[in-house]
Amino acid sequence: MAGGQERILRGRIRTVQATKKITRAMELIAASRIVKAQQRVAAAVPYSDQITDVVKDLAAAGGSTSSPLLAGRDEIRGTSVGAGNESSLSFFAASSA
C-alpha cells in the first residue's frame, strides 16, 4: 500500500476511535441523568400519595364531583418529552404504558 493511503487510513481509524470514545462518554452521562431522574421520581412518590389522599378525602366529604380533577379516568397514559440540539449523538425513546 502506498504511504499516502496508509496515512489516510490511519487518520480515519483515529477519527473513528475518537468518535467512539465521545459517544461512549455521552452514553455514560445520559445513563447517570436517567438514574438521577428516576431517583427524583421515587422521592416524589410519598408526596403524590399524600396529595391523592387529600383529594380523596375532599371528594368523600361531599364536594362537587363535576370538577375534571375529581373525575375518574379509564386509562393512565405515559408521555415522555425529549429535547436536544441537532448535532447531539443522544438517543431518545418514548414509551406509552
Query: Cell 489516510 maps to which residue?
Result: 8
Predicted pLDDT of residue 79: 66
> Is residue 91 over pLDDT 90?
no
> Is residue 87 over pLDDT 60?
no
Predicted pLDDT of residue 65: 61
Domain boundaries, the chain: 1-97
pTM of the model: 0.48
Amino acid, single-letter form, for residue 43: A
Looking at the chain, how many residues does it have? Answer: 97
pLDDT digits (tens, 9 = 90+) for 1-60: 567 899 999 999 999 999 999 999 999 999 999 999 999 999 999 999 999 998 888 878
Query: What is the CB neighbour count within 10 angstroms for residue 93?
Result: 6
CA–CA separation, 46 and 54 (whole Å): 12
